A = this chain, B = another copy of it.
Amino acid sequence: MKRRKTIPDHRKKLGEAIRVRRKELGLSQEGLAEVVDCHRNFVGRIERGEQNPTVDMLMRFSKALQCSVTDLFSEADL
């Protein structure tokens, strides 16, 4: 509610792909945050598309999610 800007569609799609993959692995947001080594809130923000992640961060997420960054973007149809 604090953000005024509209969330870009591509970020919503990427966030959703990350959420789907996380659930496939049976991980909670907290569990994923622990593997990625970031705050749990950050995972939530990524999944909702509120955060604009960098490539370095996406590499950490994809490793934690045991897939490639290509897989995540492909799943997000981006």
Contact = CB atoms under 8 A, between A and B. Distances in A.
28 contacts: A8-B56, A8-B59, A10-B55, A10-B56, A10-B59, A10-B69, A11-B55, A11-B56, A14-B55, A52-B54, A52-B55, A52-B56, A53-B54, A53-B55, A54-B54, A54-B55, A55-B58, A59-B78, A68-B73, A68-B78, A69-B73, A69-B78, A70-B70, A70-B73, A70-B74, A70-B78, A73-B73, A74-B74
Nearest to A56: B52
A53 B59 CA distance: 12
Instruction: Please classify how large the interface on chain A is, using the bins under 10, 10 to 19, 20 to 34, 35 or more.
Output: 10 to 19
Interface of A is mostly: helix
